[in-house]
Structure 1
Amino acid sequence: MTDPTPGAVLRGAVDLSALRSRANAPAAQAAAQGGGQGETARADGAAPLVFDVTDESFGQVLELSRTVPVVVDLWAEWCGPCKQLSPILEKVVTELAGRLLLAKVDVDANPQLAQGFRAQSIPMVVALVAGQPVPLFTGAVPEQQVREVFAQLLQLAAQHGVTGTVPVGAASDDAAEAAEPALPPLHQEAFDAIEAGDYARAVTAYEAALQQDPRDEQARAGLGRVRLLQRVQNLDLQQARDAAASAPLDIDAQFAVADFDIAGGHVEDAFARLLDLFAQLPAADRAPVRERLLELFGLVGDSDARVIRARGRLASLLF
């Protein structure tokens, strides 16, 4: 069966194979016994949803991700944006009441994990689904964007059969419902559509939100992410690469592979492909490539070093 998109994210986005062998050290988490559910041990019998993880304990976290998706927050004490983002991640994970776990990695204290995840800048947030990495985002992002990304992650996890939960007590669902602030109606419609895997409906909702308020940056960011998922959900990666290789100046063929690269965390590869295409095209044909580059820049984040470098090259090609 062809991998569902964004299943392409799971194909080699980050090489964690060297870390798997470290599973025999004491772990922060333990894989669940029976019922397809994950549960973590704590002295009071409750299940912690947020926990620290180290180079030594990471192997068992990989195993835990086979039953429940694990979000990994790479941070450092000196990192100001990390201190803005971490409370948001903890809040949203807690409200999801055991459907996701949050593993916190201090990159200064755990250099092997930092290297394994290729953490060139922090905060960096990735997920583990069935033992495989799923790049999510880099940098501090708004709470609503975190919610939308986590909704997409849960959908992806379900597609790969990872649907376990960690028991957190009977009152958790009520508490989460009470704590979660109401979203604007169109944002809520998009959120629900993403959770259901209906990307077309999510696009329509975000577009309507932008018609109401063209300055709605959260809607704009959500629209870009959903459009990416929508574009790649029915594509086959190998077929896309073959088509791009046989037609180097075919804009649609190059777009398809660049989308796969972005979804898989190969950001620099995607930018290089489109910038090379831009350089080779006649001036009259360049506009769609520039527009796609700007869209992908927005997905990755304007402050990301890879975006800054790519913008510089684009400017040099333009002028």
Structure 2
Amino acid sequence: MQPRNMSMSGVVDLAAVKAAQEAKAKAEQTRAENARRGGGGAVSPAGLVIDVDEAGFENDVLQRSTEVPVVIDFWAEWCEPCKQLSPLLERLAVEYNGRFVLAKIDVDANQMLMQQFGVQGIPAVFAVVAGQALPLFQGASPEPEIRQVLDQLIAVGEQRFGLTGLTVDADAEAPEAAEEPEEPAGPYDALLEAAVQALDAGDLGGAVQAYKNVLADDPGNTEATLGLAQAELLQRVQGMDPQQVRTEAAEKPADVPAQIAAADLDLVGGHVEDAFGRLVETVKRTAGEDRNAARVRLLELFEVVGADDPRVAAARSALARALF
């Protein structure tokens, strides 16, 4: 059976499943039925990581998402960053012990699913919760940031839809752990120092390229990820007329590019909460490509500030509420 048509615009309802409240009721019914059967709904640890194709998508992802959040990992054998991200996601799926299920989709074998989710590049990670699809992140992000995203996803699933996860059979054999990728060859001190020197000299293009050179070999390098986000932000605001940008943003609240430009200026000026709040509000009142553009820029600004900053955590929660 082919998956039904979908269009990604932030969060979208999938026609194959019921509305959120119906999904919540169904999840509660399933838990009650399992309780009457003496906990017969338990799954083995191996069932927390599944390979999914187009034929099994409806049952393995759409229907399963009425019981537990399903995280989708779009990957391919030839994708080097995928070889770092996929084992990490598999390990976290087992560690989270039934709070979410990981569905792995090989894009080479499942082109239709890739197109229906609007995947632009891999690795790309999405989630489906109670039949609603949500883009999470793209690329091999650092583990602490991935954990934050998963924690938010689980919280939304529980608070909005009553999805408390699956019961895992502790006596069942756990899946064989995927081998962690070897640490990439380094060191990167020289490249990182070159990027810093380029920034100090005002050579933003050179700094961006230096950070990209590090990330091409080590996608999970936290220092390079942060540095690239900062350099690209400075590059975007270079040459802007602050007064003109702020005037346009004030006069055109529905103009997404104007709001994005103003948010960039807010952040460069140290007004972190203003930048985050502006984009969260933009996400709330837009849809389609406009909403996605605002969401993506907000995630980029999170990278600039850093995942450990409490303002980022608060804004991530606000973004999740806006999307749902």
Q: TM-score, normalised by structure 2?
A: 0.49
* Rg larger in structure: 2
